[in-house]
Amino acid sequence: MDKLSILGLFIALGAIALGYTLEGGAVAALFNAPALIIVLGGTLGAVMLQSPLSTFLKALKISYWVFFPPRHDIDAAIEEVKSWSHKARQEGYLSLEDTALTHPDSYAAKGLSLLIDGVSDKKLRDTLEIDLLLERERLLEASRVYEALGGYSPTIGILGAVLGLIQAMSFITEPQKLGAGVATAFIATIYGVGLANLLFLPMANKLKQQVEQKMLFHELLAEGIIAISQGDSPANIELKLEAYRVERPNSLAN
């Protein structure tokens, strides 16, 4: 669980609610179902209109990465690659067949399968690099769905505010109702701007970071498998992959 993301969202919403309360407002007054329907429905519909189905579904599928990011244990991966190298040197590439068939990471499994098939070093590298580039682009394209949500949301919020004002004008002869109607209309603008800047755009940026972490992890696996193909020893492979190790403080992401 990414506790920093949860804490950040809590602080953002809490600060706005607290500030509004200190100004004398009632937080309950900010809840307005029609405005929420207009903003969320309009924004979602616009993004669905511009997005291919596969990209939209992928965006939904990876949304949980914001609060529950996939874990990539670099140290464990290096040790695993070293064990593959040791086994291949001792028993040959075919000894890795069971690992290729059962490995939970499809990218690693494909790399090991190519290694077992005895493809050339160049073909192995080219194939793994192409797969890495395509995977990265698919995931980044999915993260851009949240950028689009953040882009459309404020505009739809303004649209909701205008619709609310049109409705409020029907009470032009009743000042009390007119004032309440105008206040309600502007809630749509709050929803549009708030969702964009407190949720959608931060989600897009956090997902991009998670995508890059995943790509870095797969790049490590690719370099390790290529090194095995080139006959490097486990010790040399560890030295080659050492650059992927980074200092990780005890963070809120655990």
Comparing 42 with 119, the larger pLDDT belongs to 42
Domain boundaries, the chain: 32-244
Indicate if the pLDDT at residue 57 is higher than 90: yes
Distance separating alpha carbons of residues 153 and 186, to the nearest angstrom: 14
**Backbone φ and ψ of 122, nearest 5°:** -65, -45
Q: pLDDT by residue (tens digit) across 64-110?
A: 999 998 888 899 999 999 999 999 888 888 988 999 999 999 999 99
Classified as helix, coil or strand, 82 is helix
DSSP 185-242: HHHHHHHHHHHIIIIIHHHHHHHHHHHHHHHHHHHHHHHHHHHHHTT--HHHHHHHHG
Distance separating alpha carbons of residues 188 and 156, to the nearest angstrom: 8
Reported as a pLDDT band with limits 50, 70 and 90, residue 248 is very low
Look at the block and give the residue holding tokens 């075919």. Answer: 94
Q: Over the chain, what is the mean pLDDT? A: 87
